[in-house]
Structure 1
Amino acid sequence: MVKLSKRLQMIADRVPVGSKVADIGSDHALLPTYLAQQGIIVAAVAGEVNPGPFEAAQKQVLESGLSKIIQVRSGDGLAVIEAGEVNVITIAGMGGSLMASILEAGKSKLPGVQHLILQPNVGEDHVRRWLLANGWKLESETILEEDGKIYEILTAVTADTEERGTLEALYEERLLPGGVTVSKERLQQMGPYLINEAPEVWFMKWESELKKLAMIVDQLKLSTAEASIAKTEQVSQEMHEIKEVLACLQKVKP
């Protein structure tokens, strides 16, 4: 039986029983193998564009005796599936910008898909913006630390016609209990649900991000070019707003 990492286990826990799942960028096909072994899914496609991981996925599925349930396919993004073939898509372990571009390029494959379970390594705001722009309802967010790295998992569901008009409400400028106003841009960056919950690991993530932004500002200050000066002001303002949110939420934590 396959044993998953904490990160993959949290993704697996969000897959509904009885699903037909496409795991895009499946690597060794550990996630679909686990889901099949646990009886959670009835069918799966493990998609992989790189030859090495594709072969590793084939070997994993073959040795697990799951070839009738899991099909390993070579291809880029959602090109490995047909429209209507699956009702759940999982994508994990890549940047949010790439993830959004994969979803955008494969929009014709999304009819019939009911759940997107997405774990971007960075650039979560790209994913949130894509979901909002394309009529997907961000249903939940979770954050975890594993082996010194911090990951966010975003789960989205299809929104019906009536719900589409209310999707923007999740990112409407809001006043936090501590008195700080959070903009739409900052909610998309820091997570509308995560800001509400503000778990300790989330604070850890944003303290780390502030250090990275401070290093960017230090580098920008070495240049006197107008573009660098403007960028310095922009990043400094971003840091100020993030610090305000963190300080506000630290005060109201029980």
Structure 2
Amino acid sequence: MKKAVLSDRLAVIVEQIDQGAVVADIGTDHGLVPVEAVVHREAEHAVAADVNAGPLQAASDYIASCGLTGKIDTRLGSGLTVLKETDRIDTVVIAGMGGTLITEILEEGKAHLRPVQKLILQPNVSAGRIRQWLFDNGWKLTNERILKEDRHVYEVLTAVPGEAEAPYRENQEPFEKQLLFGPYLLKERNNAFKDKWMREKDNWQQILQQLANAVPTEQTTAKKQKLNQYIAWAEEVIT
């Protein structure tokens, strides 16, 4: 099998892996990230894990075709539970799923994160939930990347154990705003960032219009206030 060409999204993820790391790719799909980690980041060893047998078999076939069966283990199972102490994993990649699911995987697998020195997380939606989890659990956000690929916008978050408050202190913006938009991305504000938040602003405005016809309750009033705040913030960051 010919070695696959990485998408821009996966290339950005692989860039965050340190040379010589020991990597676990949770939800590996076709095994592309662990193969790249071993070949180009000189990862000492890797674990490719997935909860579904089909994608894991595809990963196993691809790994074998690259001659890396001895360097990359494949594991069938849920989240971080597939990891063993003897793996000596120092870097965990979780990519290509929703932010809520990623936080659930992190929360349920906390015990397996004790030896881990780096998290590389790529949510398809709800990156703010991941930032909140990292903050609450003593992980310091060290880098954020945002890119557009095939009309989708992706965020890649990198974190290490440490002073979780640090990146949020460097910005004068409200904490909730930084959680939503990302402390590093707020400074950069590239075209992919602006495109994402223009779309989100349109969605929020549509929800606000629907709420205009709803029976006023404490809940709907609070939701309107929150949406108005988010729309105002979005307008600030995209201009």
Match of 1:121 among 121, 124, 141: 124
**Structure 1 residue 85: Cα displacement:** 2.3
Change beyond 3 A, Cα 1:170–1:39:
closer
2:237 equivalent to 1:235:
no
What are the residue-to-residue correspondences of 1:138-177 with 2, within 5 Å? 138-159=141-162, 164=163, 167-172=164-169, 174-175=171-172
How many residues are treated as equivalent by the alignment? 235
TM norm structure 1: 0.87
- 1:25 pairs with 2:22: no
Partner of 2:99: 96
Counterpart amino acid of residue 194 in structure 1: L
Tell me the equivalent position of 1:87: 90
- Alpha-carbon distance in structure 2 between the residues aligned to 1:108 and 1:174: 32
| Counterpart among 190, 207, 213 of residue 216 in structure 1 | 207
Structure 2 distance, partners of 1:245, 1:205, is 11
Q: How far is 1:9 from its partner?
A: 0.5
* CA distance in 1 between partners of 2:10 and 2:52 (Å): 20
So what's the TM-score if we normalise by structure 2?
A: 0.92
Q: CA deviation at 1:36?
A: 2.0
Separation in structure 2 between the aligned mates of residue 77 and residue 170 of structure 1, nearest angstrom: 28
* CA distances 1:66-120 after superposition (whole Å, capped 9, x unpaired): 1100111001100110246201001111111111111111110112211111111
SS of 1:41's partner is: coil
| Counterpart residue type for residue 91 of structure 2 | V
After superposition, the Cα gap between the structure-2 partners of 1:211 and 1:81, relative to the gap in structure 1 and judged at 3 Å, is: same
- Looking at structure 1, the residues matched to 166 and 60 of structure 2 have their Cα atoms a distance apart, in angstroms, of 43
Q: Does 1:48 align with 2:50?
A: yes
Report which stretch shifted further, 41-50 or 83-92.
83-92
Is contact 2:27-2:51 (8 Å) kept? yes
The 10-residue stretch of structure 1 (51-60 or 234-243) with the greater mean CA deviation from structure 2:
234-243
Q: Pick from 165, 185, 189 the counterpart of residue 194 of structure 1.
A: 185
TM-superposed CA distance for 1:40, in Å, is: 2.0
The C-alpha deviation readout for 1:19-54, integer Å capped at 9, x for no partner, is: 110000000111111222335211110010012212
* Counterpart contact for 1:172–1:183, Cα < 8 Å: no
Distance (whole Å) between structure 2 residues aligned to residue 2 and residue 201 of structure 1: 25
Q: CA deviation at 1:240?
A: 1.8
> SS at the partner of 1:59?
helix
Structure 1 residues without counterparts, runs of 5 or longer: 176-181
- Percent identical among aligned pairs is 40
1:3 pairs with one of 5, 28, 47: 5
Aligned amino acid, residue 73 of structure 1 = R
| Aligned twin of 1:131 | 134
